């Protein structure tokens, strides 16, 4: 290839996956103690996700320069506060080990259990000071306790002080048997989780958390869950019934919230999220390593979903990488990745 041809070749866009998971080997013995994660359990996962070479090959194949590694919060299901805190520490250490070995390819999103707030604040301090924490992930409810509880204010205060984004990850809620995983044909996972993200956002707004900590930046999994689809329904009900419950109009609170693209390839849903969040608060995320083909399907389908949207190229660049780069304060060196011809053509 001539120098002229090389210089004229289109540079692939920056791609950062803000919402992918790392279930390390060190967490395996803990997962074996409960009935949620693992082979032949509710939520199986590919064990090879713990192999960095497997990750890097997939990242290079699809042109993903950086993964923001987080633990998935439902791994804490069934554990008491002390054990949950230990799982968080192990997970955060495992993430950091990978980030330290491959500093240009991974950044650390640290998981926190709020079942014991003092412990969570201590782990947050440790993560900031020792583990190069770029954000935190918490479950959308804490064993049925809402995220608007004043008990959590010291945690939010420190998160806001250090300008760290909060990644909300949905989890089980056990109050409604018709949405049971087994008897409800996986309804909890499919529909209960997005509902729980929605209620968490609602309580953060109407419970006064956003007004008390207006600098908080909150990333919602699955592109805002129910809220973008029901945006006008939300606004109409707010105008009629809820205007006196918060000091500002509901539309002013949305600026604190972002949505990741982990929608598994449903084409129209990306545009719904884009209409709601706009190009500056929509962020590429895959939910890897979950999904078919040991997670590869979710990388491919979510990339395709973004790249095939009929929106300006500059907006696609923001969604694919620039927004996450800014939010996570990532300083990138040159990363050489190989993108297949078919993937490159999708950028056109």
Please say if the pLDDT value at position 37 is more than 80: yes
- For the stretch 51-82, pLDDT in tens is 999 999 999 999 999 999 999 999 999 999 99
**Per-residue confidence (pLDDT) for residue 343, from 0 to 100:** 44
Please say if the pLDDT value at position 319 is more than 80: yes
% pLDDT > 70, the chain: 93
Calpha distance 51→8 (Å, rounded):
36
**Per-residue confidence (pLDDT) for residue 174, from 0 to 100:** 82
Q: Decide if 222 contacts 273 (C-beta within 8 A).
A: no
The Cβ of residue 130 has, within 10 Å, a number of other Cβ atoms equal to: 11
Residue 173 tokens, joined: 């809620």
Query: DSSP states of 196-257 as a string?
Result: HHHHHHHHHHHTTHHHHSTT--EEETTTTTTTTTTHHHHHHHIIIIITTTSSS-HHHHGGGE
Residue ranges of E strands in the chain: 16-21, 66-70, 106-111, 133-139, 166-169, 218-220, 257-260, 282-283
**Per-residue confidence (pLDDT) for residue 345, from 0 to 100:** 41
% pLDDT > 90, the chain: 90
Q: Which residues contact 88 (CB under 8 A, 6 or more apart)?
A: 71, 76, 110, 111, 112, 113, 123
Closest C-alpha to 61, from 295, 243, 218: 295
Measured at the CA of 338, the angle between CA 287 and CA 3, to 5 degrees, comes to: 150
Taking all residues of the chain, what is their mean pLDDT, rounded to a whole number? 93
Mean per-residue pLDDT, 224-252? 98
Closest C-alpha to 72, from 36, 32, 125, 100: 36
Mean per-residue pLDDT, 323-336? 86
Calpha distance 192→253 (Å, rounded):
24
Closest C-alpha to 227, from 188, 266, 267, 200: 200
Q: Which residues contact 91 (CB under 8 A, 6 or more apart)?
A: 22, 24, 27, 71, 75, 110, 111
Please say if the pLDDT value at position 119 is more than 70: yes
Q: Decide if 284 contacts 59 (C-beta within 8 A).
A: no
Q: Which residues contact 208 (CB under 8 A, 6 or more apart)?
A: 148, 246
Query: DSSP states of 305-338 as a string?
Result: HHHTSSS-HHHHHIIIIIHHHHHTT---------
């Amino acid at each position: 290839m001539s120098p002229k041809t090389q210089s004229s070749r289109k540079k692939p866009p920056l791609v950062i996956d803000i919402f992918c998971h790392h279930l390390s080997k060190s967490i395996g013995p803990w997962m074996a103690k409960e009935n949620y994660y693992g082979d032949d359990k509710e939520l199986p996962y590919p064990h090879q996700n713990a192999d960095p070479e497997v990750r890097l090959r997939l990242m290079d194949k699809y042109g993903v320069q950086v993964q923001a590694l987080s633990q998935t919060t439902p791994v804490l299901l069934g554990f008491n506060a002390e054990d949950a805190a230990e799982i968080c520490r192990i997970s955060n250490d495992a993430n950091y080990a990978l980030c330290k070995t491959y500093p240009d390819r991974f950044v650390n999103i640290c998981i926190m259990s709020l079942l014991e707030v003092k412990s969570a604040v201590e782990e947050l301090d440790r993560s900031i000071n020792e583990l190069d924490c770029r954000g935190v992930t918490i479950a959308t409810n804490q064993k049925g306790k809402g995220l608007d509880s004043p008990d959590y204010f010291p945690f939010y205060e420190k998160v806001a002080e250090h300008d760290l984004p909060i990644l909300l990850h949905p989890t089980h809620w056990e109050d409604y048997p018709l949405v049971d995983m087994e008897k409800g044909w996986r309804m909890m996972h499919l529909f209960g989780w997005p509902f729980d993200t929605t209620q968490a956002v609602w309580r953060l707004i109407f419970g006064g958390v956003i007004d008390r900590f207006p600098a908080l930046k909150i990333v919602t999994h699955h592109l805002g869950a129910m809220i973008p689809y029901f945006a006008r329904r939300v606004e109409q009900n707010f105008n009629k019934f809820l205007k006196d419950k918060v000091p500002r109009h509901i539309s002013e609170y949305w600026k604190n919230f972002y949505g990741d693209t982990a929608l598994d390839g449903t084409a129209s849903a990306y545009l719904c999220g884009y209409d709601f969040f706009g190009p500056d608060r929509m962020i590429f995320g895959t939910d890897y390593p979950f999904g078919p083909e040991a997670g590869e399907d979710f990388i491919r389908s979510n990339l395709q979903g973004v790249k095939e949207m009929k929106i300006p190229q500059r907006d696609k660049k923001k969604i694919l990488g620039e927004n996450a780069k800014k939010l996570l304060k990532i300083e990138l060196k040159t990363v050489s990745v190989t993108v297949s011809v078919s993937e490159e053509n999708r950028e056109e």
